[in-house]
Amino acid sequence: MKLGFQMSSVTPYLQSVEQLQAACEKVAQMGYEGVQLQGVSTDIPDGEIARALQQAGLRCVATQEDYPAGFGANPERFIARAQACGSRYLTCALLPREVDSPEKLQRFGETFAQIGEKVKQAGMVFAFHPIGRDFQPMDGVPVYERLMDLLPPEIQLTFCVYASFGSGVSYEQVLQKFCGRMDLVHLKDSLRLPSGEEQLMPLGEGSHDWKPVLAACQDAGVQWVFAEQERWNRDAFDCAAASLQYVQSVWPQG
């Protein structure tokens, strides 16, 4: 198991070639082994993205796109971007809100599987990344679980542990059920402020204990865990470095 960084955490700093180059260099200098690429401006040519990653010495493990915005309408465009960056995985998030019944989910699953076949033909692994509402039940079964049951087994689940908190679905359940079908996991921490607002925090500075989570990920055969934090209470790159230092301190032995 290896530790990477979810680049969507610093999306505002990925909107020009110069910003992207600087961000990649900072992330590499921290000591992250690889990244999941998301949040990079679509105006930046794929070759420039690949060059920025290569110059920084960063491995692009995966890319991530939303559905349908930016992905569903033109999957070939983002398959090409993932290929240009040398990505092994292409993850898709955001199940449309209108998919609110088993029948609609069935139809969406068929569309999703067709995209997955294109990703497979391009030599990559396709994955679905559920967010908070996808862990809610649909006729007694969590939506994400229903969808995964509809999809070919080679389509994986990319699991954000934070998204499952408070949903009634434990991270242990997800890791056990999708063991062997879940190479990528996201880690995100938070702290409830006196105002009641939930503030995203660097890993180890929030209210969650990540040591048992990391051990469970390793036991489940997870290949990469990615630190993630899209909102910050201080410099975004300082937060990324703090997450790295914490995770290294509780990394599973053996």
Taking only the tens place, the pLDDT of each residue in 40-66 is: 999 999 999 999 999 999 999 999 999
SS (H, E, C) the chain: CEEEEEHHHHHHHCCCHHHHHHHHHHHHHHCCCEEEECCCCCCCCHHHHHHHHHHHCCEEEEEEEECCCCCCCCHHHHHHHHHHCCCCEEEEECCCCCCCCHHHHHHHHHHHHHHHHHHHHCCCEEEEECCHHHHCEECCEEHHHHHHHHCCCCCEECEEHHHHCCCCCCHHHHHHHCCCCCCEEEECEEEECCCCCEEEECCCCCCCCCHHHHHHHHHCCCCEEEECCCCCCCCHHHHHHHHHHHHHHCCCCC
> What is residue 254's predicted lDDT score, i.e. its pLDDT?
67
190 beta partners? 200
pTM of the predicted protein model: 0.96
**Angle in degrees, 0-180, between the axes of helices 46-56 and 17-30, rounded to the nearest 10:** 30
Lowest mean per-residue pLDDT among 72-76, 140-144, 196-200: 72-76
The first and second tokens of residue 163, run together, are 């998204």
List pLDDT tens digits, range 240-251.
999 999 999 999
Would you mind telling me the total number of residues written for the chain in this entry?
A: 254
Q: How far apart are CA 238 and CA 190, in angstroms?
A: 16
Strands 141-142, 184-187: pairing is unpaired
Other C-beta atoms closer than 10 Å to the C-beta of 23 total: 28
List pLDDT tens digits, range 71-128.
777 899 999 999 999 999 999 998 998 999 999 999 999 999 999 999 999 999 999 9
> What is residue 70's predicted lDDT score, i.e. its pLDDT?
66
Which residue bears the tokens 């470095």? Answer: 241
CA nearest to 209, candidates 177, 239, 171, 173: 171
Q: How far apart are CA 113 and CA 79, in angstroms?
A: 15
CA nearest to 171, candidates 155, 187, 148: 187
Question: Would you say residue 129 has pLDDT above 70?
Answer: yes
Q: How far apart are CA 104 and CA 131, in angstroms?
A: 18
Question: Would you say residue 174 has pLDDT above 90?
Answer: yes
